[in-house]
Amino acid sequence: MSTPVGIDELLERVREGYARIEPQAAYEASLEGALLVDIRYQALRERDGLIPGAVVVERNELEWRLDPRGSHRLPQATGHDLRVVVICNEGYASTLAAASLHTLGLHGATDLTGGFQAWKAAGLPVVSS
């Protein structure tokens, strides 16, 4: 039986497994073809806006929509080499989501450090929902 860990320790362990991405680098990656995936819930998207070009996938559907072998995948989920940047509100839930995508073999998945709020604070494009 494994020893329980707290969420802070879990996040630290998961983040050791891949390189997270800062807002400006995520923006540049999107221009080079990376798929930005917004997992924020609807109320936050309505309140704060959307990142142009980002695909909205509610967190509870993420694995089904991005699994390249899945029957419910998005058209953009073309292969396991897909570069994916998962975006939540502040960069916590996206860490666990990216780790889950790694388990599915999407080793190019990462998450946005600071989430949507960091993107917005960096002055990157945002549109009203």
Collect all residues with Cβ–Cβ distance below 8 Å to 70 and sequence separation of at least 6: 63, 64, 77
**3 — pLDDT class (breaks 50, 70, 90):** confident
47-101 confidence digits (pLDDT tens) = 999 999 999 999 999 999 999 999 999 999 999 999 999 999 999 999 999 999 9
Residue 39 pLDDT exceeds 90: yes
Cα distances (angstroms) measured from residue 71 to each of 12, 29, 65, 79, 99: 33, 27, 9, 13, 21
Flag whether the pTM goes above 0.75: yes
Which of 4 and 24 is assigned the larger pLDDT? 24
Q: For tokens 């009203």, what's the residue?
A: 128
Q: What is the pLDDT of residue 14?
A: 93
